[in-house]
Amino acid sequence: MSTERLILFFGSARPGEYDTLLEAGLPLGLLRDTDSPNSRHRPSGFEVLEEMSFGAGVEELVARVAAIAAVRPVSCLPVFFEGHVEAAAEVGAALGLPGLSPVAALAARDKAIMHERLTAVLGETSVARQVAVADHDAAAAFAERVGFPVVVKPRRLHSSLYVTPCHDRAQLDTAVSRLLASVPQWMESGDADTTLLVEEYLEGSNHSVDVVAVAGLAWPTPVVDVVTGADLGMNDFQHFARIAPSALSAEAAAELQELAVRATQALDLSPGVSHVEMIRTAAGPRVVEVGGRPGGNRHRLLYVGHGVDLCRAYVDVLRGRIPDLEPTVGRAVAVATPYPLHSGLFRGFNGLERVSGLRSVRTVSERVAPGDLVGSPRDGSRSPLSVELQAAERHLVTADLARLAEIRRDLFDLVEVAGHGVRS
Domain 129-200: give its CATH superfamily.
ATP-grasp fold, A domain (3.30.1490.20)
pLDDT at res. 162: 84
**Side-chain half-sphere CA neighbours of 316 within 13 A:** 17
CA angle 244, 247, 251 (to 5 degrees): 115
Q: What is the pLDDT of residues 340-356, one digit of tens each?
A: 998 999 999 999 999 99
Q: Is the pTM of this model over 0.75?
A: yes
Residue extent(s) of CATH 3.30.1490.20 domains in the chain: 129-200
Q: Where in the chain is the domain with CATH 3.30.470.20?
A: 205-415
Q: How far apart are CA 90 and CA 99, in angstroms?
A: 10
Smallest CA-to-CA distance from 273 within 306, 317, 303, 243 is with 317
Contacts of residue 37, defined as CB under 8 A and 6 or more positions apart, other chains included, come to 382
CA distance 397 to 386: 15
Q: Is the pLDDT of residue 421 over 50?
A: no
Residues of the chain with CATH 3.40.50.20: 6-97
Cβ neighbors of 23 (< 8 A, separation 6 or more) are none
CATH 3.40.50.20 holds for 6-97: yes
Characterize the bridge pairing of strands 150-154 and 196-200: antiparallel
| Exposure string over 277-304, b if 16+ CB within 10 A, otherwise e | bbbbeeeebbbbbbbbbbbbbbbbbbbb
Task: Report pLDDT digits (tens) over 349-403.
Answer: 999 999 999 999 999 999 999 999 998 887 778 889 999 999 999 999 999 999 9
**Domain 205-415's class?**
alpha beta
Q: Of 82-86, 177-181, 411-415, which range is least confident?
A: 177-181
